[in-house]
Structure 1
């Protein structure tokens, strides 16, 4: 990620969205509408307890890739029982790239959880969404995305 810090550091995680949040207002005219709405939600990066719409600690629970050439992709995240009231479903349109890169393995964790994410404009008018997970990172290059809080499982 370019601005967001989400790293494994000496047996723990260090996350910091402040540099991204400082740049975010400059990206408004460059991000597609759905990506902007999700990234600019004031709760998105509010890391404190009691914020059920912060992405941190959501659990990756499903990946649905279109089997046709529609360019659709859906990522589902289950709520963390200690933090979230509901899960999150992100539907991507016009996907031109999707990857999951495993960087390390944390044996005591049963599921991959979100550390933080970052959405940046792409040169073709779309966006690139990077999600740092506890064991991996997800990268999606797409035309736009729609994020809906609800019963993702």
Structure 2
């Protein structure tokens, strides 16, 4: 079970190392549902799509089917990003586990059938990243945080972890 407060990157890496030690990945292609956000959010997702890296965690970009500017993938679905997803139900819990990676806040969810799922919080659209069981740390989020921060603005800029105060 994830801790019930935000973690720093090193603490999160330890949590995931403990949770996922000994797991192997099948990297089987996933069935990807393309989100259907409102037009304003779709425009943000298109901008994110243009900024996404060609490799993450040493895995080459392999976008899932059906192809869309709202989805991206690396390593045959080992890492899958979906932009413009609905707000996860878990965000109603004020004690939902989370992590801040390179200035981007993520809610963390365990999945019984695979690796963790992370969804951005406090952004004008939600970006979801699912990882296969092979990942024992938040390294992929470190590489995805920069394009997210650049293209998906904070919903409440004054509350961002990088806001001067």
TM over 0.5: no
TM superposition score normalised by structure 2: 0.31
- Between the two structures, name the one with larger relative contact order (CA 8 Å, sep ≥ 6): 2
TM superposition score normalised by structure 1: 0.33
The structure in which a higher percent of residues are helix is 2
